Structure 1
Amino acid sequence: MYYSMDETLGFALLSIVIIGLIISPSISSINADNHEIMSPREQMESGIDAEDVVCKSGLVLMVRSTNGAAACVKSSTSMKLSGAGWGDVIEATMEEKQEEEQMEEENHDKEIVLEEELSMGEQEQMDENSNQTIIQLEEEISAGEEDSLSDESTQEDVFTIGGIDLSMAAPVEGQDDAPITIIEFGDYQCPNCKQWFQKEKPSITSNHILSNTTKLYFVDAPWAGDDSSTAAEASYCADDQGKYMEYHSTLYNNQGGIQDGWANSDSLKQFAIELGLDSEMFDECLDSGKYSDRVSYNKEVATSNGVGGTPHFFIVGPDGIVKQITGPQPSVIFDVEIFKLGY
């Protein structure tokens, strides 16, 4: 059959229009560069076969074998549904899809809430840690201040002459403002200390202490044994009742052998009775070890000043010059040293 040119062109245009009508839904559905991809249902309603439905990136197409429904799902979902009446690639129905999307939405919301709760919990923990750190810092500062105050208090309580700590020494003999100071380190069980006390000290007392040029401090250096320390403690218990010098003299005047019992607790209590002290008060003081720390402190002072034996003396002048005398030296030696200091 012969057609004219015009008829041929007309058939061609008509064919193009028909083809365009057929493929236009597919073109519009896959034009992902300029428009969103329609849902599988919208694509099928527009005339696209289930097998030709286009899914968004990351999703796979599944067609249900029972009713030919199409759906786009994640690969993980398709694997779970592969035995539920779908083809090799399966997705839920639209209702199921909506439920899945709703569940994903809810899970997403829960994740957000959980993250917020975790964040709040972390913040609370951080706040709690911060508060604990602040409290700890405040406690450390407070403790530091207390230590500092304690150190300052200790430094203020330390009393020295010639660099020798006399904070725990026995009561001074003589006037506090006497220009010359004699510091005696002694032991009540020391025979040489007894000798010096009985033979040399009386002259020093009359020539220098009573003339108000010299004062004397006695510091415990209990090297001879435990009874030496106990006797020193007892002397301070007597001092509580105003009888230090009397008790001090009694100890030297009643000295026996080293650790032979003359200075044990019972003997020391008997001395207190003989001096007319309140025995109950004295016994309680001695038995409690009230002055054990004081005696130990003085012993450390002796060691720190190089005292290795007793008696040991330091003579300190008004300008701080210190002269040492070791052993029970005659009183004349003290006279010479005091004279050198201008007195």
Structure 2
Amino acid sequence: MTRQISGPDRTSPSRRAVLTGLSAAAATATAGCLGGGGGSSGGSDEVPADAVESLPTPVHGDEDAPVTVAVFEDFACPHCRTFAVDVQPRIVDEYVGSGDVRFEHHDFPIPVDDRWSWEAPGAARAVQNTVGDEAFFTFTGRLFEEGWSDGSPTYSESLLRDLASAVDADPDTVVADASGNRYRPVLEADRESGLDRGVEATPSVFVDGTLLDRPDYSTISSAIEEGL
């Protein structure tokens, strides 16, 4: 038994305007993070009757750290991949390990890719829900590292299975939950939260609630230092 995630359209005119203009805004802010070229298609917005409606925000680091860095990402966005591979590890090394930063991941499927903007984070949330936050961040880090070629995502069920097994998650469950949209309500809620906070492109980085102009290490580091 399935149900559609979208019921009657209760979106306000202003929210519809934001959604309608999202692609144009994101193109201006982070060119290359939009769909429309060479991506997979065929994603479904149907969710199962046993869909998970909510999960805690994945957190890396001390829950009570003095500074919070929150990042909104689309797993099919090349700029998000650059952030995950080049910027996030430096933040973790410099600030998370020392207890200065609480690092939060938030999903914001634009979607760049009709399939993987939903299934990749869905798989990651399955890992989070069954194994925990530490496994979630290990899984997503390797997903961004190993699931790309020539600037485009090359995700596959085989890769999801391998990475799930590597963090002691059940690969069959992870793949089934991802393709079956079991965590779609969680992803939709995160996206809605991002819109409420002014997110228009990915990656979007907040430091202590303030949206930064640029998601680069220098900008983020400066904002963190100001908060310490």
Please tell me the TM-score bracket, short chain as reference. Answer: 0.5 to 0.7
Identical-pair percentage: 21
Q: Tell me the CA shift for residue 209 of structure 1.
A: 1.1
Q: State the match for 1:249 in structure 2.
A: 141
Task: Output one character per residue of 1:210-262: Cα deviation in whole Å (capped at 9) or x when no partner.
Answer: 1112101110011112211110110011121232112111211023369x772
Structure with higher RCO (Cα < 8 A, 6+ apart): 2
1:128-167 matched pairs, under 5 angstroms: none
Q: State the match for 1:231 in structure 2.
A: 120
Q: Is contact 1:183–1:314 with CA below 8 Å preserved after alignment? A: yes
1:159-198 matched pairs, under 5 angstroms: 168=55, 170-198=57-85
> Does residue 221 in structure 1 map to residue 108 in structure 2?
yes
Q: Tell me the CA shift for residue 266 of structure 1.
A: 5.0
Q: Which amino acid aligns with 1:337?
A: A
> Does residue 285 in structure 1 map to residue 172 in structure 2?
no
Q: Which amino acid aligns with 1:206?
A: D
Q: Is contact 1:228–1:263 with CA below 8 Å preserved after alignment? A: no
Q: Is contact 1:197–1:252 with CA below 8 Å preserved after alignment? A: yes
Q: State the match for 1:56 in structure 2.
A: none
Aligned CA distance change for structure 1 residues 179 and 212 (closer, same or farther; 3 Å): same
> Does residue 335 in structure 1 map to residue 221 in structure 2?
yes
Q: Is contact 1:193–1:328 with CA below 8 Å preserved after alignment? A: no
Q: State the match for 1:315 in structure 2.
A: 207
Q: Is contact 1:230–1:264 with CA below 8 Å preserved after alignment? A: no
Q: Size of the alignment, in residue pairs?
A: 170
TM-score between both structures, scaled by the size of structure 1: 0.45
TM-score between both structures, scaled by the size of structure 2: 0.65
| Consecutive unaligned residues in structure 1, runs of 5 or more | 1-166, 317-321
1:43-192 matched pairs, under 5 angstroms: 168=55, 170-192=57-79
Q: Is contact 1:310–1:326 with CA below 8 Å preserved after alignment? A: no
Where is the helix percentage greater, Structure 1 or Structure 2? 1
| Consecutive unaligned residues in structure 2, runs of 5 or more | 1-53
What is the CA–CA distance in structure 2 between the aligned matches of 1:276 and 1:174, rounded to whole Å? 21
Larger-gyration structure (1/2): 1
Q: State the match for 2:192 in structure 1.
A: 300
Q: State the match for 1:268 in structure 2.
A: 160
Q: State the match for 1:130 in structure 2.
A: none
Q: Which amino acid aligns with 1:225?
A: D
